[in-house]
Amino acid sequence: MPKATSEKLSRAHKPAPKKKDSQASGSANTNPLFNTARFGQHILKNAQTAQKIVDAANLKPTDKVLEVGPGTGNLTVKILEKAKHVTAVEMDPRMAAEVLKRVQGTPEQRKLEVVIGDFVKVDIPYFELYAKVDNIINVNRNDFRPPPQVESSVIRLVPIDPPPPVKFEEFDGLNRIIFSRPNKTIRGNFQAKGVMKMLDQNRRTWLSMQEMAVDDENESINDILDKILNEGSWTESRAAKMDIDEILK
């Protein structure tokens, strides 16, 4: 995994407005270890919240855990008490060193692997297709140091077994079309000039592979699209208001 080079941050990762000097004394903003401006670092400082997160995960001694952004390791050390192995991905080499320092010389040291890199650059799957997503607890912004400008949530991902019988590439292609403008009707998104051209080319390729002639007697791509959308009552549906089960139909 490559080392981080990007310095682009969203507003959500920027620190909250600075307090007056008298209020900011001893805050994380004066700690040279923190680099909130570059990495958007907000360290979970509430030990009770960290324990709630670990308890909610219901970890077993055989579990292998991936932790993204361990910071100084406040959550990591609690996970290591429960899990078989933890792989922690951290952008900041200084924070990575802090995490390793926390477990140096302890039995947990052999259970921890720290990878220095940017997890955002990793190609991760669309979890909602293959897992049930639940919101477990909300985390107050003041449980972090320094507090971010947004509230946080802890979610749980439980794999769906068996996974839905759909080819991911086809499902991904469908979503790219209908979510290109999520508040527009499904039909409206499909009728975009570029989409119609692509569908027609795909149809012609398929007919050729089936050794079927492409002529005026064949249904037009517009007719086929209308037939499919009408059968599913999707003509006036909008992607923004559809759930995963409706899209999978």
CATH of residue 189's domain is: 1.10.8.480
Residue 230 lies in domain: 168-248
100 is in an annotated binding site: no
26 known member of a binding site? no
My answer on whether 42 and 137 are in the same domain is yes
143 with 40, same domain: the answer is: yes
Write down which residue in 159, 189, 218 finishes a domain: 159
Same domain assignment for residues 173 and 126: no
CA distance 44 to 54: 13
pLDDT value at position 13?
44
Instruction: Tell me the per-residue pLDDT of 126-179, one tens digit each, with 9 for 90 and over.
Output: 666 788 888 898 999 999 888 888 888 888 888 888 888 888 888 889 989 999
69 and 133 in a single domain? The answer is yes
Shared domain for 68 and 152, answered yes or no, is yes
Highest mean pLDDT among 26-30, 189-193, 244-248: 189-193
Residue 111 falls inside a structural domain: yes
pLDDT for position 164: 83
Residue 16 shares a structural domain with residue 33: yes
Does 153 appear as a known binding residue? no
Q: pLDDT value at position 4?
A: 40
Same domain flag for 175 and 226: yes
Binding residue per annotation — 226?
Answer: no
pLDDT at 19 over 70: no
Please report whether residue 6 resides in a domain: no
Q: Are residues 197 and 219 in the same domain?
A: yes
The mean-pLDDT minimum among 31-40, 41-50, 86-95, 114-123 falls in 31-40
Q: What is the mean pLDDT of the chain?
A: 81
**Per the annotation, does 44 bind a ligand?**
yes
What are the pLDDT digits (tens) for 181-232? 989 999 999 989 999 999 989 888 888 888 776 665 567 888 888 888 888 8
Is the pTM value of this prediction over 0.75? no
Tell whether 49 and 102 lie within a shared domain.
yes
User: Is 243 known as a binding-site position?
Assistant: no
Letter string b/e over residues 68-95, b meaning 16 or more CB atoms within 10 A of that residue's CB: ebbbbbbbbbbbbebbeebebbbbbeeb
Query: Nearest 5°: CA angle at 41, between 35 and 43?
Result: 120
73 and 191: one domain?
Answer: no
pLDDT at residue 150, rounded to an integer = 82
